[in-house]
Amino acid sequence: MSPKPMARPGGRSARVQESVHAAVRELVEEAGRDALTVPMVATRAGVTPSTIYRRWGDLQELLSDVAVERLRPETGPADLGNLRADLDAWAEQFLDEMASPSGRAYIRDALLGDPDGTNAGRCSAYAAEQIDAVLARAVRRGEPVPETELLIDRVVAPIMYRILFRPGRLDAAYARELVTNALCAPRTAAGA
C-alpha cells in the first residue's frame, strides 16, 4: 500500500478530510460501524468513492484515521497545583477515556488500519504531549520530575495493555497506583 498523503492545512484537502471524517462520525452514529461502506461515506461527504480510496486506501484505513483524530485530547491536562495531583488526574482521565466503549473502539480502529505504525505513533505522541505539559508545569514550580518515557512505560503502557488484553481493574485507584510507582522510580530528568 502506498503511504497516506498528509493533509495540507486549509484548502480543499482539509475540507475533504473534514467532510469525510464528519460523514464517518455521523454514519457510525446513525447506522453503526459495521454498516459503513466507502460509497455510503462518499455520498454523505459529497465526494466520489475514488477520492476516499485514493486518500485512505480502504475503509479500514479511513476508520483508523478518524479514530486517531477522535483519540486526540480536546483540552490540556488539569493544573491542580502539584505534580502528583496533576498526574493522578491525567492518568485517571486517560484511563477513563481509553477504557470506555468508544475509546476501545477507537483504539481498535486506529490499530487495525495502521499497517506502517504511523497512527499508533500519533496516538503515543498525544499522550507524551499531555505528560510533557504536566512535567513542564512541575519544572516551573520547582518540583523534581521523572522522564516522559518513564511515565509512558509505567503509566500509559500498563493502562493500554490492560485495556487491550486484561480488562480487569481499570479504575481510578489503578491509575493512581501506576502514578505512585512511576514517581517512586529513580529520577533522571532535567528537573531532578
- pLDDT tens profile 74-117: 899 999 999 999 999 999 999 999 999 989 999 999 988 888 88
My answer on whether 79 and 36 are in the same domain is no
pLDDT of residue 10: 60
Task: Establish if 69 belongs to a structural domain.
Answer: no
My answer on whether 151 and 94 are in the same domain is yes
Mapping DSSP onto H, E and C, the string for 144-176 reads CCCCHHHHHHHHHHHHHHHHHHCCCCCCHHHHH
pLDDT of residue 187: 54
CATH code of the domain containing 30: 1.10.10.60
Helices vs strands, H then E, count in the chain:
10, 0
My answer on whether 146 and 94 are in the same domain is yes
My answer on whether 53 and 86 are in the same domain is no
pLDDT of residue 1: 39
pLDDT of residue 114: 81
**Residue 172 near residue 92, CB atoms below 8 Å:** yes
Task: Establish if 34 belongs to a structural domain.
Answer: yes
My answer on whether 38 and 94 are in the same domain is no
My answer on whether 50 and 113 are in the same domain is no
My answer on whether 53 and 88 are in the same domain is no
CATH code of the domain containing 122: 1.10.357.10
Task: Establish if 115 belongs to a structural domain.
Answer: yes
**Residue 99 near residue 172, CB atoms below 8 Å:** no
Task: Establish if 31 belongs to a structural domain.
Answer: yes
pLDDT of residue 186: 66
Number of independent structural domains in the chain = 2
Domain that holds residue 170: 74-184
Q: What stretches in the chain show pLDDT beneath 50? A: 1-9, 188-192
Task: Establish if 6 belongs to a structural domain.
Answer: no
